[in-house]
């Protein structure tokens, strides 16, 4: 974005702070929407506060970042809830998450990146995955000319492999031939979200080349963060990019045995607000479990708290946000919280374990795999 465009967007913000509240007028209930503002409690942690920080940097009023300023900028999960709410009430599109990414890019240029994020960039450079793992997640292509390629992503490969395992088993159960990349590199999402744009370029070039060489026509993602990055940051590769839940809705003759389970569906921010995919996960989930809706859902869903580089930098806050979501699922009468994102699952599961109140956490593909009749 050009400087003038950014400043114009910043000056359009009326600082009303209505973007921090989810409204449910039928019950006259107001619930918080901005995790970072709610947790830290200062103006700088809400969307208008961060816009003001950005303005001060651009207009030369701020030359040294305090610890508090760094925290305000980097504790934003880039969940986009503020953007959706602002658009709903003002009909003006102040593209807040994009502005906050621009702000971080500007901060990185000034040498104000967080050390923990620089460490992730270093790990990616050394190992090509965001966790610095040296081993390989074991997966083999069933056909090297298959039309379908499954891009697994760092989190499903190294932190929640049960999601990748379930996806691969679903392909097998349907007799769908697939490819996985021999040399899959991190998609670059964490670097782009934390302002380290230059560091992401090599990764994107590698993945584009590998996918083009595979000849695949459809790339399936279980990670909405990877999918969004390919959709918004990668050049057009001439292939179809789909989320696992979209792919599943196309499979005809899915013989599933409905599980006797009351679940709540948690909209992942990148899948819902960023990509507009709200219906497919619900449609798939309804086939395999009894779905309860939580109060804050779809455009006004409460973020799990782990995106935008927050999990690595401010874990206590990330887990607090996830605990809030677990409480909401409990209130809705659910015994399990189901998402469609490895990053959400990891954070929600950790929070559930910490909270110790027995909430189970799954990804949609895990329940589908479990309910598919052999
Ligand atoms: S971003 Fe929109 S809703 Fe939020 S304070 Fe600014 S004008 Fe108000
Ligand atoms: S993107 Fe999410 S965490 Fe960041 S300011 Fe907006 S609502 Fe708050």
> Any idea where the domains of the chain sit in the sequence?
3-112, 148-250, 262-371
Cα-to-centroid distance, 78 and ligand 2 (Å): 5
Closest ligand 1 atom to Cα of 12: 7
Res 374 pLDDT > 70 = no
Dist. CA 301 → ligand 1 center (Å): 18
Beta bridge partners of 372: 256
pLDDT number for residue 255: 80
CA of 100 to the centre of ligand 1 (A): 14
Instruction: Answer yes or no: is the C-beta of 14 below 6 A from any ligand 1 atom.
Output: yes
Per-residue pLDDT at 357: 72
Which whole number is the average pLDDT over 312-316? Answer: 98
Closest ligand relative to 304 C-alpha: 2
pLDDT value at position 251?
Answer: 87
User: For a substitution probing ligand 1, which of 21, 86, 300 has the most ligand atoms within 8 Å of its CB?
Assistant: 86
pLDDT tens-place string over residues 319-335: 999 999 999 999 999 99
48 Cβ inside 6 Å of ligand 1: yes
What letter does residue 357 receive in the DSSP assignment? Answer: S
Mean pLDDT of 18-47: 89
What are the residues facing 264 on neighbouring strands?
Answer: 292, 337
Atom of ligand 2 nearest to the CA of 77: 3
pLDDT per residue over 192-227, tens digit each? 999 999 999 999 999 999 999 999 999 999 999 999
Rounded Cα–Cα distance for residues 211 and 208 (Å)? 5
pLDDT of residue 24: 67
Instruction: Name which of 70, 74, 79, 90 is nearest 9 in CA terms.
Output: 90
Mean pLDDT of the chain: 95
Q: How confident is the model at residue 373 (pLDDT cuts 50, 70, 90)?
A: confident
Overall average pLDDT of the 152-172 stretch: 98
For residue 252, the model assigns a pLDDT of 75
- 38 alpha carbon to ligand 2 midpoint, in Å? 10
74 vs 68: CA distance, rounded Å: 10
Cβ atoms 62, 23 nearer than 8 A: no
pLDDT score at 25: 63
> Which residues, in sequence order, are bridge partners of residue 240?
218
Predicted pLDDT at 82: 97
Per cent of the chain over pLDDT 70 is: 98
pLDDT reported for residue 349: 97
For residues 15-37, average pLDDT:
86
Tens of pLDDT, residue by residue over 241-252, are 999 999 999 987
CATH of 3-112 given 1.10.287, 1.10.10, 1.10.1060, 3.30.429: 1.10.1060
Closest of 103, 124, 268 to residue 188, by C-alpha:
124
Q: Whose CA is nearest to atom 6 of ligand 2?
A: 82
pLDDT higher than 90, residue 269: yes
- Protein residue with its CA nearest to atom 7 in ligand 1: 13
Question: Which fold is adopted by the domain 262-371?
Answer: Rossmann fold (3.40.50)
Residue nearest to atom 1 of ligand 2 (CA): 78
What residue owns the CA closest to ligand 2's atom 8? 34
In CATH, the number for domain 148-250 is: 3.40.50.1860
Residue 27: predicted pLDDT: 60
Beta-carbon count within 10 A of 202 CB: 14
Q: Do domains 148-250 and 262-371 have the same CATH topology?
A: yes
Q: Is 49 in the pocket of ligand 2 (CB under 6 A)?
A: no
Q: Taking the mean position of all CA atoms in its chain, how far away is CA 133?
A: 21
The DSSP annotation for 63-129 comes to -S--HHHHHHHHT-----HHHHHHHHHH-----HHHHHHHHHHHHHHTT---HHHHHHHHHHHHHSS
101-147: per-residue pLDDT in tens?
999 999 999 999 999 999 999 999 999 999 999 999 999 999 999 99
Ligand sitting nearest the alpha carbon of 88: 1
Say yes or no to pLDDT of 26 above 70.
no
């Amino acid at each position: 974005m050009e400087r003038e465009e950014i400043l114009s967007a910043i000056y359009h913000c009326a600082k009303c702070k209505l973007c921090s509240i989810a409204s449910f007028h039928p019950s006259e209930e107001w619930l918080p929407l901005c995790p970072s503002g709610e947790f830290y409690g200062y103006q700088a942690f809400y969307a208008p506060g961060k816009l003001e920080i950005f303005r001060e940097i651009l207009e030369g009023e701020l030359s040294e970042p305090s610890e508090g300023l760094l925290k305000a900028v980097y504790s934003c999960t880039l969940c986009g809830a503020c953007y959706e709410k602002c658009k709903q009430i003002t009909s003006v599109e102040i593209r807040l998450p994009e502005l906050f990414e621009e702000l971080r890019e500007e901060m990185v240029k000034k040498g104000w990146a967080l050390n923990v994020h620089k460490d992730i960039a270093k790990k990616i450079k050394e190992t090509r995955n965001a966790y610095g793992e040296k081993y390989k997640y074991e997966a083999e292509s069933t056909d090297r000319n298959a039309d379908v390629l499954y891009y697994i992503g760092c989190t499903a490969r190294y932190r929640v492999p049960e999601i990748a395992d379930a996806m691969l088993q679903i392909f097998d159960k349907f007799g769908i031939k697939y490819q996985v990349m021999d040399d899959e590199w991190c998609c670059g999402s964490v670097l782009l979200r934390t302002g380290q744009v230059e560091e992401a370029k090599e990764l994107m070039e590698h993945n584009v080349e590998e996918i083009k060489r595979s000849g695949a026509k459809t790339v399936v993602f279980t990670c909405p963060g990877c999918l969004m990055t390919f959709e918004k940051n990668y050049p057009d590769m001439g292939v179809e990019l789909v989320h696992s839940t979209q792919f599943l809705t196309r499979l005809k003759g899915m013989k599933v045995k409905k599980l006797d389970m009351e679940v709540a569906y948690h909209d992942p921010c990148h899948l819902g607000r960023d990509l507009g995919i709200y219906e497919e996960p619900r449609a798939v989930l309804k086939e395999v479990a009894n779905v309860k809706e939580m109060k804050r859902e779809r455009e006004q869903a409460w973020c799990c708290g782990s995106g935008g580089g927050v999990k690595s930098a401010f874990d206590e806050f990330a887990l607090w946000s996830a605990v809030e979501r677990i409480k909401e699922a409990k209130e809705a009468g659910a015994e399990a919280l189901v998402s469609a994102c490895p990053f959400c699952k990891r954070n929600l599961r950790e929070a559930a374990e910490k909270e110790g109140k027995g909430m189970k956490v799954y990804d949609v593909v895990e329940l589908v795999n479990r309910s598919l009749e052999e």
